[in-house]
Amino acid sequence: MGVCVSKRMLKAPNNKLINVLKKGGFIRQNKLGKYIPQAFTSMVNLSHYEIISFYNSKIHGIFNFYGFASNRFSLGSVLWLLKASCALTLARKFKLRTMRKVFIKFGSNLKCSETEKELYRPSSLKVIHDFKAESKTNSPINS
């Protein structure tokens, strides 16, 4: 007979994350109820590097917090909304008008030509199950 081990599943609350992005001014809802990205206009006067750094901090925060989420792949939509919002912010800053022109000028990761800083993109959206338990010999209790 096998031993039954229960596993807890953590799911990223995508709807809550979308609402946080909406309240934060990164996205808005159109008349049909679809979420669309928008420029974060309060950052337009900052440098390209500072804008990328700001968006990277948001992306890193979400992916660090929900790194073990069983639905981590669904965070791809949140990542895309942040990337598009960043592109629209850069479009407003550099008077390029469209996301497409921003991606043509700066590439898919919105690279800053002066500093080589790029928008962070996780290497994979697969679920991470990297639980590392210390061995008993390294435990402070056994010392």
Percent of the residues in the chain that have a pLDDT greater than 90, as a whole number: 64
At residue 68, the pLDDT reads 77
Query: Does 141 score more than 70 pLDDT?
Result: no
Number of domains into which the chain is organized: 1
- Answer whether 69's CB lies under 8 Å from 10's CB: yes
- Answer whether 22's CB lies under 8 Å from 35's CB: yes
Structural domain includes residue 25: no
Q: Can you tell me the mean pLDDT for 102-120?
A: 96
What is the full DSSP assignment across 42-69? GGTTS-HHHHHHHHHHHHHHHHHHTTT-
Report residue 129's pLDDT band, with 50, 70 and 90 as the boundaries: low
Domain that holds residue 107: 47-129
At residue 9, the pLDDT reads 72
Structural domain includes residue 111: yes
Tokens of 61: 């925060």
Report residue 46's pLDDT band, with 50, 70 and 90 as the boundaries: very high
Q: Can you tell me the mean pLDDT for 62-87?
A: 88
Contacts of 82 (CB under 8 A, 6+ apart): 21, 26, 37, 55, 58, 59
Q: Can you tell me the mean pLDDT for 66-85?
A: 87
Q: Can you tell me the mean pLDDT for 109-129?
A: 87
Structural domain includes residue 14: no
At residue 125, the pLDDT reads 75
Query: Does 143 score more than 60 pLDDT?
Result: no
**What rounded mean pLDDT belongs to the chain?**
86
Structural domain includes residue 27: no
At residue 79, the pLDDT reads 93
pTM for the whole thing?
0.82
At residue 31, the pLDDT reads 95
